[in-house]
Structure 1
Amino acid sequence: MKPYVQPAAVLAALSFLIASGHAPATTQPRAAVAVPVREHIPRRLSPSMSQVPKRSETPKEHRWVLEDLYANQAAWDAEYAKVKHLTKEIAGFQGKLKDAETIARCFALEDDLSLLAERLYVYANMSHHEDTAEPKFQALSEKSKKLSVEVNEALSFITPEILAFSEDELRKLIADPTLNKYKRTLEEMLREKPHILSKNEEALLAQVGNVSQAPSTIFSMMNNADMKFPKVKNDKGEEVELSHGRYIQFLESRNAEVRRDAFKAMYDTYGKWKNTLAATLSANVTKNLFYAKARHHSSALEMSLYGDNIPQSVYDNLIGTIHEHLPLMHRYMALRKKLLKVDELHMYDLFTPLVEEFDLDIPYEQATKTVYDSLAPLGDDYRKVLKEGFDNGWIDIYENEGKRSGAYSWGAFGTHPYVLLNHKDNLNSMFTLAHEMGHALHSYYSDGNNEYRDAQYTIFLAEVASTLNEALLMDYLLNKSTDPKEKMYLLTYYADQFRTTVFRQTMFAEFEKIIHAKAEEGEALTPQELSSIYYDLNLKYYGDGMVVDKDIEMEWARIPHFYTSFYVYKYATGFSAATSFAKQILDEGKPAVDRYLGFLKSGGSDYSINILKKAGVDMSSPEPIRQAMSVFEGLITEMEKLTDGK
C-alpha cells in the first residue's frame, strides 16, 4: 500500500471520465475528480468578448493562484532536483528492509519523496491545463510525467521486500511501536498478501499488462475514431452528420421524428458492428476472469471490490434495493409520458425536456453567493473554508483559449485544493461549482486531519461530498422558488439525476454482474446473448408503461465504462450516500452535521465502508438507498401536484 499513485495514470483516468460524460472520481494524488460533463451552454458574451479570450487576457482575479504551490519556476526546478537526489537515496534501502527501524526510516523517506513528486506533477499539469497549447508547460508536464515513472520505479522494491516476511513476522511488525505511524500500511499489505504472487509471477503479470489493455484500446479506437454515423435531419430539416457529441442534442429535440431517427441511426450503426463489439467486450471479461484466477479471487466481481475492501453484499444490496423501488421509476416514466403529451413513451423520449427551457441567468458572483447560502446547514466552519476558497485563488473560473475543458478538483497535500472550471452563467455551472467545491473541502478537511498516508480517500467515497453539496443546493433552490415554472424546472433537473445516476448506473452494474457470472460458468457472450440480457434489463427498469424499443438492445455496445469493469456502481452508491447524508442533516441538524464533518476529516484513515458507517451511513444495509428513494418519491409527488389538471 504505497502512498504514491502514479499521477500519469490519474490524469488518464480523469481524461476518460471527462470524455465519457460521467461523474467520476479517480484515485488521485489529492482528489483529481472529474465532474459529470453537463451540457455546456455558452456564457453570454459582452460586446468586448466576441470570442474566447487568450490566457493573457484573463483578469488575475479570475485565475487560480498556483504560486501557492511554487512561487516561481526556480522553486519548481529546485524541488525537482531534490526529488532526483532522493530517488538515489531511497535505493540505498533496497535489500535491507529486515527490521522495524530500517523499515520506518524507509517509509519516512518514501513519504517525503512521494509528496514532493506529487507537488511537482500537480503544478506542472495544472499549469499545462491553463493553456494546453503553451509549449513551456507542455514540456514541464512531460518532464513531470517522466519523473513520476522514475519515482514509482525507485519505490517498487518496498512492497515485495516487506511481503517476503511470513504472516507471523508481518504481524510482529504491525505490533511494533516503531512502526505505529505505518500500522495501516502494514495491515493492508497483510490483507493483500494472499493475492500477491511470487516475484517471477508478478513480473510475468506486469508484462501481460500491456496486452490486457487491448480490449479497451480497440473499443476506444473503434468508438472514437473509426465509427462513422449517417446523416439525420435536425429540427430545421437540415441533414447533419450524427456524432457522439450531437446525439444527446438530437434526443433533446421537441420533434419526435428527429429524436426517433437519431436513435435508430445510432443503434443501427452499432448493430452493423455487433460481432466485433461483442468479441471485444467478451475479451475484456475474459481478461478480468484471468486476473481473478491468477490472484486467487473467487470471482472477477470479488476481485474488483477487494481493493477498497468492499463486501460483495454492498454491490448486491444496491441492485436488490433498487429492484424494490422500480415502481418509482415506472411512476416517473408515467409522469414523463403525461408531461410530454405523447400517446406512447419511447426510449428516445428519455432526454426530451419535460418543461420549456427556463432561463436562469446566473453570473458567477451570484452563483458563489447562492452556493454559500445553500450550504448554511453545514455550519459556520464549513462555510468559512468555502469562502476562503472563493476569495483566495483556489478557483480558475472562466474558459480561455487552449484551457482544458470540463471541471475538476485537484491539488497536493500540504497546500489548499484547487478547482478548474469553465463557468457559464447558467444552472449547470452553478451546480458544477457546488460539486467541485464539495471535493475541494473534502480534501481540505482530509489533509488537515491526517498524515499524508491516511489523507487519501478512495474513489468509493469521493463523490459523496460533491453530490451532498448539490443535494443541499437543490433543496435550497426548491424552498426559495415561488414560480411554479421554475420549481418544475428544478424538480425535473433533480429527478433526472436520480434516473441517470442511480437507476441507470445500477442497471449497468447489474448487466456487468450477469455477463461476468455467465462467462465464469463457461457460457459464450455472443452478440445475441449480450443484447438479450441488456434488453430484458431495460424492460425491468423502465416498466410496461413505456415502449422499450428493440434498438436499445445494442446500447451495451457503446458504454465505455464496461471496459472499466465494476466501476459504475460507485456512482449509484455515492449518490445514495450523499442523499442520505443530506436528508439526515436537514432533518436532524447539528448531530448529523458533526457526523458528516467527521466523515470529511477521516480521509482514508479507515476502510471506506467503515468511515461511512461511523458517520451514520451504513452502505452494507438498504437504508441509505431507501432514504435516497424517499427523496426521489418526494420529487415525483411534488411534480404530480404541479401537473394536476394539466
Structure 2
Amino acid sequence: MQQVLKRSEVSQENCWNLSDLFADQQAWDQAYDKVKQELPEAIQLQGKLNTPEAVKSAFELEDRIGLQVEQLYAYAHMHQDEDTTNPTYQALSQKVKKLGVELGQALSFITPEILGLSDEKLDELLASPVLAPYHFTLQEMKREKAHVLTQAEEALLAQVGNLSQAPQTIFGMLNNADMKFPNIIDENGNEVELTHGRYIQFLENPNRELRERAFKAIYSAYARQKNTIAATLTANINKNIFYANVRKYPSVLEKALYGDNIPKEVYTNLIDTIHEGLPLLHRYIALRKKLLGVDELHMYDLFAPLVDEFKMDITYEEAKATVAEGLKPLGEDYQQALQAGYNEGWIDVYENEGKRTGAYSWGAYGVHPYVLLNHKDNLNSMFTLAHEMGHALHSYYSDNALPYRDAQYTIFLAEVASTTNEALLMDYLLKKSTDPKEKMYLLTYYADQFRTTVFRQTMFAEFEMITHARAEAGESLTPQELSKIYYDLNVKYHGEGMHVDQDIEMEWARIPHFYNSFYVYKYATGFSAATSFSKQILEEGQSAVDRYTGFLQSGGSDYSINILAKAGVDMSTPAPIREAMSVFEALITEMEELAK
C-alpha cells in the first residue's frame, strides 16, 4: 500500500485552485480589512428601518458584507481542510470565525427592528415595489416573527456564536488531526497505519480477517476516547436545547425543521415508513449472508464484495469519463458545466497527511464551486465524484440564475441533485453491463446505496431524535447510554439475520454529521426525491430535463417542498419513500434471480 503523501508532495493538477477566491493571503488580508472597515456602516442604519428605502439599504449592506465574509470563510477553511495540522490556516479559520460573529453582532438589529414594526407596516413593506427583490426574505421574516427576540437579546445571542461552534470544532480537530489509529497487518502481511480512508478500503477487502482487524481496531480507538467524545456530543445537544428554548420552539427537532418550513411529520413519516420497509433490509441481509457463504453475517461483512471473481479498479481519469457518459441524459449544457469542473481547478482529488476526511462540495457565491475528494481507485469513489459534482453543479446553476440572497438552496434540497447523478450513473452502468458478475457487483453496490443512504441515515436520524428527546426530558446521556441506544437501533434495523457485533456500539462516536444536528434525514428524503427525478428524466426525456433544470436554478427562492412540487416531486407524503422501497425490492429480486 502506498505511503500517504504530505500536502507539499501532491501534484498541483490534483489540487483545487483556491486562488480563484483570493490570489494569495495578502489579497485575503486586504478583503478582511475592508470588511472590518465596512461593518460600522451598519450603525448608521440602526433605528431607521421604517421605510422601503432604508430596509433596502440594510439588505444591500447585509448582502455585500455577507458575501465577502462567505468568500473569506471558504478560502480559510478549505485551505485548512487541505492539512488540518497546518497552524497558519488554523489561525486564519479562527480569525474569520470571529469576523463572522462580529458581522452577526453588527447586523443583528435588522431582523428584530423590522419585526418590531406593526403588521400593517410589514404588509406595506411586502407590497412595496422597491423591496420586490426581497419579497421572500420579508415573507420569511414575518413567518419567523414568533421566534425572533428583542434587539438586545439578538445581539447577545450573536456574541455566543463562537461558543456555539465549540463542540463541532473540538470534534473535528480530535477526529481529523489528533486521533491516531493502530497499525494493522494488511492482506500482504505488511504492517500499515489505519486511517479514515484506509478503513473503508479494508472493509471492502475480500479478506475477512483483515476486515475484522480493521473493524475492531478503529472502534477500540474510539472506545478509548468515549468519555471525551460523549462530553462533546452532549455539549452539542445541550447547545441545541438552549437555542430551541431561547427562541421558543417546542423542541430541537421542530426548530431544526422550521428554517426549511418542513412539517415535523415529514421527519416522523420517514422513520415510520422506513420501519415498514425493514423486512426488505432484512431480506437483503439474508441474501448477503447466503452469497458470502458465512454462518454468521457480521457488521464488518456489510461492505464485503459479493462477487469474488470481479473487481472494478477505476482510476480517477476513468471515473471522470464514465460519470460524464452516465450524465448525458441531462443534456449538453450540463455536460459543459461538468467539464469546466473537471478542468478548471474545482476539485481536490487525493488523500494526503492531515487532509480532512470524506468528501464535500463547497465554495462561495461569485466564484465557481469546489469539491474535496479523497479518491481511491474503486467504484465507490467514482460515485462520490458523481455525487459531489451534483452538489457543485446545483450551486453553479442556482448561482448563475439568481441573486446572492436567493441562490443558496436549503439543506433539505441539498442531497437531491447529488443523488440524481448517482441514480443516472447507475442506470448507465447497469444498461451497458453484459457480464453477470459485473451486473451482480453493480446491483450489490446500488442495494448498498439504499442500505447506507436510506436505511442507515434514517437510523442516524432516529438516534438523533431519541438522544435529543431524552436530553430534553432531563435524562443524562452517558457514554454507556449513547452506546446502548446506538446498539439497540442497529439490532432493530439489521434484524435477526445479522450478528450485531458489540463493537458497533461506538460508531456514534465517529459520525461528524451528529454535530450538524437533524441533517442526516435529508439524505434519505433526498434519495427518494432523486429516485423520482431520475426515473422521469430517463422516461420522459427533454420535458423532464427542463423541469429538473428549473429545480437546479431555483436555489432557495421558495420553500423547499414547493420547489420540489413545481418540478414534479411531492415530498409532503410518504409516497416518494415508498417508491424508493419498491425500487430497492426490485433490486433484491434481480439479485436473488442471479444468485440461483
- Fold agreement, TM-score > 0.5: yes
Q: Say which of 236, 260, 265 aligns to 1:313.
A: 265
* Aligned AA (2:549): L
Greater mean deviation of Cα atoms: 454-463 or 73-82: 73-82
Residues 527 and 486 of structure 1: CA distance in aligned 2, closer, same or farther (over 3 Å):
same
Q: Retained in 1: the 8 A contact 2:101–2:161?
A: no
Residues 407 and 544 of structure 1: CA distance in aligned 2, closer, same or farther (over 3 Å):
closer
* Aligned AA (1:568): V
2:528 matched to 1:564?
A: no
Residues 151 and 278 of structure 1: CA distance in aligned 2, closer, same or farther (over 3 Å):
closer
Q: Retained in 1: the 8 A contact 2:262–2:561?
A: yes
What is the match of residue 65 of structure 2? 113
What whole-Å deviation, never above 9, does each CA across 1:101-138 have from its counterpart, x for those lacking one? 11112222332333344345545665777788999988
What whole-Å deviation, never above 9, does each CA across 1:354-409 have from its counterpart, x for those lacking one? 23374434444443332222112112332233234444554455678987765443
Q: Say which of 439, 442, 455 aligns to 2:394.
A: 442
What is the match of residue 58 of structure 1? 12
CA distance in 2, matches of 1:294, 1:248: 41
The Cα of 1:331 is off from its aligned counterpart by 0.9
What whole-Å deviation, never above 9, does each CA across 1:411-447 have from its counterpart, x for those lacking one? 3333433444555554334323322221222112101
Greater mean deviation of Cα atoms: 396-405 or 438-447: 396-405
The Cα of 1:311 is off from its aligned counterpart by 0.8
* Aligned AA (1:115): L
* Aligned AA (2:433): S
What is the match of residue 578 of structure 1? 530
What is the match of residue 508 of structure 1? 460
2:346 matched to 1:386?
A: no
Local SS of the residue matching 2:361: strand
CA distance in 2, matches of 1:87, 1:247: 46
* Aligned AA (2:328): A
Q: Say which of 285, 297, 301 aligns to 1:333.
A: 285
Taking the TM superposition and a 5 Å limit, the aligned residue runs for 1:335-374 are 335-356=287-308, 358-374=310-326
* Aligned AA (1:58): Q
What whole-Å deviation, never above 9, does each CA across 1:543-593 have from its counterpart, x for those lacking one? 222233455445445544334332221222222222221122223323322
What is the match of residue 299 of structure 1? 251
2:491 matched to 1:491?
A: no
CA distance in 1, matches of 2:162, 2:502: 37
Q: Retained in 2: the 8 A contact 1:54–1:400?
A: no
The Cα of 1:202 is off from its aligned counterpart by 3.7
What whole-Å deviation, never above 9, does each CA across 1:434-482 have from its counterpart, x for those lacking one? 2222122211210122121101111221121112111111111111112
What is the match of residue 126 of structure 2? 174
Q: Retained in 1: the 8 A contact 2:267–2:521?
A: yes
Greater mean deviation of Cα atoms: 261-270 or 112-121: 261-270
Greater mean deviation of Cα atoms: 133-142 or 561-570: 133-142
What is the match of residue 462 of structure 1? 414
CA distance in 1, matches of 2:585, 2:10: 49
What is the match of residue 383 of structure 2? 431
2:546 matched to 1:594?
A: yes
Q: Retained in 1: the 8 A contact 2:203–2:214?
A: yes
Residues 365 and 283 of structure 1: CA distance in aligned 2, closer, same or farther (over 3 Å):
closer
Tell me how large the CA RMSD over aligned residues is: 4.0
Residues 256 and 431 of structure 1: CA distance in aligned 2, closer, same or farther (over 3 Å):
closer
Residues 114 and 300 of structure 1: CA distance in aligned 2, closer, same or farther (over 3 Å):
closer
CA distance in 1, matches of 2:11, 2:242: 53
2:75 matched to 1:104?
A: no
What is the match of residue 634 of structure 1? 586
Q: Retained in 2: the 8 A contact 1:55–1:131?
A: no
Residues 77 and 559 of structure 1: CA distance in aligned 2, closer, same or farther (over 3 Å):
closer
CA distance in 2, matches of 1:56, 1:229: 23
* Aligned AA (1:416): H
Local SS of the residue matching 1:325: helix
Residues 193 and 76 of structure 1: CA distance in aligned 2, closer, same or farther (over 3 Å):
same
CA distance in 2, matches of 1:241, 1:52: 15
What is the match of residue 185 of structure 1? 137
Local SS of the residue matching 1:409: strand
The Cα of 1:219 is off from its aligned counterpart by 6.3
* Aligned AA (1:613): A
* Aligned AA (2:302): L
Residues 550 and 410 of structure 1: CA distance in aligned 2, closer, same or farther (over 3 Å):
closer
Q: Retained in 2: the 8 A contact 1:375–1:469?
A: yes
Taking the TM superposition and a 5 Å limit, the aligned residue runs for 1:283-294 are 284-294=236-246
The Cα of 1:100 is off from its aligned counterpart by 1.6
* Aligned AA (2:51): D
Residues 356 and 531 of structure 1: CA distance in aligned 2, closer, same or farther (over 3 Å):
same
* Aligned AA (2:546): D
Local SS of the residue matching 1:592: helix
Residues 562 and 406 of structure 1: CA distance in aligned 2, closer, same or farther (over 3 Å):
closer
What is the match of residue 429 of structure 2? 477
Local SS of the residue matching 2:467: helix
Q: Retained in 2: the 8 A contact 1:409–1:437?
A: yes
What is the match of residue 107 of structure 2? 155
What is the match of residue 15 of structure 1? none
What whole-Å deviation, never above 9, does each CA across 1:191-211 have from its counterpart, x for those lacking one? 222112234444554566666
CA distance in 2, matches of 1:258, 1:148: 46
Residues 434 and 525 of structure 1: CA distance in aligned 2, closer, same or farther (over 3 Å):
closer
2:550 matched to 1:605?
A: no
* Aligned AA (1:435): H
Q: Retained in 2: the 8 A contact 1:322–1:503?
A: yes
2:476 matched to 1:517?
A: no
The Cα of 1:264 is off from its aligned counterpart by 5.5
Local SS of the residue matching 2:420: helix
The Cα of 1:615 is off from its aligned counterpart by 1.2
Q: Retained in 2: the 8 A contact 1:397–1:423?
A: yes
Q: Retained in 2: the 8 A contact 1:377–1:586?
A: yes
What whole-Å deviation, never above 9, does each CA across 1:207-229 have from its counterpart, x for those lacking one? 66666666667767877788887
Q: Retained in 2: the 8 A contact 1:173–1:179?
A: yes
Residues 519 and 614 of structure 1: CA distance in aligned 2, closer, same or farther (over 3 Å):
same
* Aligned AA (2:586): G
The Cα of 1:352 is off from its aligned counterpart by 2.5
What is the match of residue 197 of structure 1? 149
CA distance in 2, matches of 1:627, 1:298: 32
CA distance in 2, matches of 1:451, 1:393: 24
The Cα of 1:80 is off from its aligned counterpart by 5.6
Residues 564 and 138 of structure 1: CA distance in aligned 2, closer, same or farther (over 3 Å):
closer
Greater mean deviation of Cα atoms: 625-634 or 138-147: 138-147
The Cα of 1:166 is off from its aligned counterpart by 3.3
CA distance in 1, matches of 2:523, 2:194: 28
CA distance in 2, matches of 1:70, 1:246: 33
CA distance in 2, matches of 1:333, 1:255: 19
For structure 2, the 5+ residue unaligned runs are none
Residues 430 and 191 of structure 1: CA distance in aligned 2, closer, same or farther (over 3 Å):
same
Residues 516 and 117 of structure 1: CA distance in aligned 2, closer, same or farther (over 3 Å):
closer
Local SS of the residue matching 1:308: coil
Identity in percent: 69
Q: Retained in 1: the 8 A contact 2:176–2:357?
A: no
Greater mean deviation of Cα atoms: 526-535 or 308-317: 526-535
Taking the TM superposition and a 5 Å limit, the aligned residue runs for 1:39-118 are 54=8, 58=12, 83-118=35-70
* Aligned AA (1:427): L
Q: Say which of 616, 619, 630 aligns to 2:568.
A: 616
What is the match of residue 164 of structure 1? 116
Local SS of the residue matching 1:360: coil
